């Protein structure tokens, strides 16, 4: 009897992983607790349920989400096949009829001769078979205890309280300056100084901005030590100036004086291409974050690669635990895939399922692991989650800040700067797709 690979969770990542294994000739047993038991966000009885928006974001190659989808298509992704065949008109984005999409994935999984579906909640991981855990951000309690046991103390988070992250090259350094408070240590922070008037306008906009809806199952969450910035602001006009926006120990080199208030940004990845806004965890709606935070001097044209969120999200400390194949460093036959690894979003979850599935199959067959290169969106995402981030590990959407930069040169070999951002993104995408073309038969 051929050995079976277990996949736990028939969500976006689990279905993709199962498909990648089965289409290569491997046998899969996929466990799904629906329809007997559902998380507070799942309502359909079928697999790969889109729990909120029905959009899989941009389809354009100038957008990193568009590139990731195209890479998945070329790698023979089940989720992309069903999404494309159940698309509804959505301009440059890919949106789907959520029920038809979910039904399409379910039928393909259930009808595949190499896949056995077991409708049952899983609470234990066996040591014998190769297993992929893909139970998502709302993993059931019974399995959470098992994952905590396997990963070890302190390696599992239960909610995401993340501040927005911006691309470093979109910060206006004519206004912002690099320094550490009291000149301690390296000059690690980018500082956005505010005058009294700028602070007052920002404060008014912040306390009046629209907040995102809080789901019933998230109402009980407490955020000790990481209060939303807008909640802190409501305590009084000066609270932020004595908290995350305190200016003490910082001198604006342009005025030679201490600013009235300062927003600090801290490096978020080793390459220094991404910066997070210190203390800005928030529940404002995304459009409001863009509007209000762009009022901060230096961030007028900031490109937000991730907005701040505060919601329930179960995820492991992947940089400490996983390899770029999504396999556990310390436990050879255990993989994780989907949002539980710290990738964020439908397509990102699918992408990690694809990479984990391919690698689980290769492990079964005694073949070498495959790491997708950082010049591809699939590889950049896997690299982000499996490499120690500079600060606390936080989930991440795919964005061009993660993908290896282009290093174009002129005819004399001198570095060339491509000013047109869309053109540059397109060139990065074309380079990535050439790499994927060479890998699609693995
Ligand atoms: P899921 O798609 O959640 O799949 C996990 C599966 O595992 C589920 O079917 C679940 O029933 C099953 N399961 C759980 N525990 C067990 C167990 N012990 N045994 C067996 N089965 C189990 N991303 C976006 O891109 N756009 C959005 O609009 C969006 N909205 C979101 C809204 C909410 C409320 C949440 C929580 C997340 C949202 N996300 C969104 C983030 C993320 O993209 C989705 O959660 C995505 O579905 C994650 O894919 P996944 O495969 O990791 O998990």
Scanning the structure block, which residue is given the tokens 């797709």?
433
The reply to whether ligand 1 has any atom less than 6 angstroms from the CB of 32 is yes
Q: Give the DSSP letter of residue 129.
A: S
CA atoms within 13 A on the CB side of 78: 32
Helix and strand totals (H; E) in the chain: 12, 16
Distance 29 CA to ligand 1 centre (A): 19
Reduce the DSSP state of residue 419 to 3 states and report it: coil
Mean pLDDT of 381-396: 85
pLDDT confidence bin for 389, thresholds 50/70/90:
low
pLDDT at 110 (0 to 100): 98
* Average pLDDT for the chain: 92
Give 95-133 pLDDT, tens digit per residue.
Answer: 899 999 999 999 999 999 999 999 999 999 988 999 999
d(C-alpha 292, C-alpha 240), whole Å: 15
The reply to whether ligand 1 has any atom less than 6 angstroms from the CB of 146 is no
Top-confidence residue, 62 or 414: 62
The reply to whether ligand 1 has any atom less than 6 angstroms from the CB of 136 is yes
Distance 51 CA to ligand 1 centre (A): 7
The reply to whether ligand 1 has any atom less than 6 angstroms from the CB of 53 is yes
User: In terms of Cα–Cα distance, which of 173, 172, 132, 189 is closest to 328?
Assistant: 132
Q: Are 311 and 215 in contact (CB under 8 A)?
A: yes
- CATH number corresponding to 2-154+315-400: 3.50.50.60
- Which sign, positive or negative, has the C-alpha torsion 337, 339, 343, 345? positive
- Count CB atoms within 10 A of the CB of residue 243: 14
pLDDT at 90 (0 to 100): 84
pLDDT at 390 (0 to 100): 64
pLDDT at 219 (0 to 100): 64
| 380 known member of a binding site | no
pLDDT at 187 (0 to 100): 73
pLDDT at 217 (0 to 100): 67
Which residue CA neighbors atom 36 of ligand 1 most closely?
137
pLDDT confidence bin for 394, thresholds 50/70/90:
confident
Mean pLDDT of 142-166: 88
ipTM > 0.90?
yes
What torsion, rounded to 10 degrees, do the Cα atoms 424, 426, 427, 431 define? 140
pLDDT at 272 (0 to 100): 84
Give 339-358 pLDDT, tens digit per residue.
Answer: 999 999 999 999 999 999 99
The reply to whether ligand 1 has any atom less than 6 angstroms from the CB of 52 is yes
Give 258-317 pLDDT, tens digit per residue.
Answer: 999 999 998 877 788 889 899 999 999 999 999 999 999 999 999 999 899 888 889 999
Distance 299 CA to ligand 1 centre (A): 33
| 243 known member of a binding site | no
pLDDT confidence bin for 80, thresholds 50/70/90:
very high
The reply to whether ligand 1 has any atom less than 6 angstroms from the CB of 349 is yes
Distance 137 CA to ligand 1 centre (A): 5
pLDDT at 325 (0 to 100): 98
- Out of 123, 137, 337, mutate this one to test ligand 1's pocket (max ligand atoms within 8 Å of CB): namely 137
144 CB-contact burial (10 Å; exposed 0-12 / middle 13-18 / buried 19+): middle
The reply to whether ligand 1 has any atom less than 6 angstroms from the CB of 12 is yes
- CATH number corresponding to 160-309: 2.40.30.260
d(C-alpha 177, C-alpha 358), whole Å: 45
pLDDT at 284 (0 to 100): 95
User: In terms of Cα–Cα distance, which of 105, 125, 296, 63 is closest to 199?
Assistant: 296
Q: Give the DSSP letter of residue 297.
A: T
- Out of 10, 35, 346, mutate this one to test ligand 1's pocket (max ligand atoms within 8 Å of CB): namely 346
| Domain ranges, ordered by start, for the chain | 2-154+315-400, 160-309
| 13 known member of a binding site | yes
pLDDT at 223 (0 to 100): 56
Which of these ranges, 131-140, 168-177, 266-275, has the smallest mean pLDDT?
266-275
Ligand 1 atom at minimal distance to the Cα of residue 15: 51
Distance 339 CA to ligand 1 centre (A): 7
Give 318-342 pLDDT, tens digit per residue.
Answer: 999 999 999 999 999 999 999 999 9
What percent of the chain stands above pLDDT 90?
76
The reply to whether ligand 1 has any atom less than 6 angstroms from the CB of 139 is yes
Distance 154 CA to ligand 1 centre (A): 22
| 11 known member of a binding site | yes
pLDDT at 107 (0 to 100): 98
Distance 209 CA to ligand 1 centre (A): 28
User: In terms of Cα–Cα distance, which of 139, 84, 77, 190 is closest to 436?
Assistant: 77
pLDDT confidence bin for 214, thresholds 50/70/90:
confident
* Domains 2-154+315-400 and 160-309 in one fold: no
Query: Is the pLDDT at 220 greater than 90, yes or no?
Result: no
Using DSSP bridges, classify how beta strands 334-336 and 131-133 pair: parallel, antiparallel or unpaired: parallel
Scanning the structure block, which residue is given the tokens 């991981």?
125
Mean pLDDT of 67-85: 98
The reply to whether ligand 1 has any atom less than 6 angstroms from the CB of 345 is yes
The reply to whether ligand 1 has any atom less than 6 angstroms from the CB of 10 is yes
Ligand 1 atom at minimal distance to the Cα of residue 122: 19
Phi, psi for residue 170 in degrees, rounded to 5: -100, 0
């Amino acid at each position: 009897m051929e050995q079976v690979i277990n996949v736990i969770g028939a969500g976006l990542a689990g279905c993709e992983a199962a498909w990648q294994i089965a289409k290569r000739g491997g046998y899969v047993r996929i466990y799904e607790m629906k329809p007997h038991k559902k998380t507070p966000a799942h309502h359909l009885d079928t697999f790969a349920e889109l729990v909120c928006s029905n959009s899989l974001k941009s389809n354009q190659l100038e957008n990193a989400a568009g590139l990731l989808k195209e890479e998945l298509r070329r790698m023979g992704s089940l989720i992309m096949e069903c999404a494309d065949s159940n698309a509804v008109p959505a301009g440059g984005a890919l949106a789907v009829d959520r029920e038809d999409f979910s039904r399409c994935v379910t039928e393909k999984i259930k009808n595949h001769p190499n896949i056995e579906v077991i409708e049952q909640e899983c609470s234990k991981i066996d040591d014998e078979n190769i297993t992929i855990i893909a139970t998502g951000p709302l993993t059931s309690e019974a399995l959470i205890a098992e994952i905590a046991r396997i990963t070890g103390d302190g390696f599992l988070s239960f909610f995401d309280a993340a501040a927005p992250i911006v691309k470093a090259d979109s910060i206006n350094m004519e206004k912002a300056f690099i320094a550490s408070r009291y000149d301690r240590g390296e000059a690690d922070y980018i500082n956005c100084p505010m005058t009294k008037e700028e602070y007052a306008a920002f404060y008014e906009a912040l306390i009046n901005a629209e907040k995102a809806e809080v789901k019933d199952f998230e109402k009980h969450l407490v955020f000790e030590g990481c209060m939303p910035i807008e909640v802190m602001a409501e305590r009084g006009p000066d609270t932020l100036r004595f908290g995350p926006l305190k200016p003490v120990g910082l001198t604006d080199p342009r005025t030679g004086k201490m600013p009235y208030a300062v927003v600090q940004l801290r490096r978020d990845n080793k390459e220094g291409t991404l910066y997070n806004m210190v203390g800005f965890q928030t529940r404002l709606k995304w459009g409001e974050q863009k509007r209000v935070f762009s009022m901060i001097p230096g961030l007028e044209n900031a490109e937000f690669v991730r907005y701040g969120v505060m919601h329930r999200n179960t995820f492991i400390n992947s940089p400490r635990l996983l390899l770029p194949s999504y396999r556990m460093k310390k436990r050879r036959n255990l993989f994780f895939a989907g949002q539980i690894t710290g990738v964020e979003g439908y397509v990102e979850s699918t992408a990690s399922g694809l990479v984990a599935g391919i690698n689980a199959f290769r492990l079964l067959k005694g073949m070498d692991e495959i790491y997708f290169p950082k010049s591809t969106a699939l590889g950049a995402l896997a690299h982000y989650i499996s490499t120690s981030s500079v600060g606390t590990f936080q989930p991440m959407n795919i964005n061009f800040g993660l993908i290896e930069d282009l290093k174009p040169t002129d005819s004399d070999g001198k570095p060339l700067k491509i000013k047109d951002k869309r053109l540059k993104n397109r060139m990065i995408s074309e380079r990535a797709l050439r790499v994927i073309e060479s890998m699609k038969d693995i």
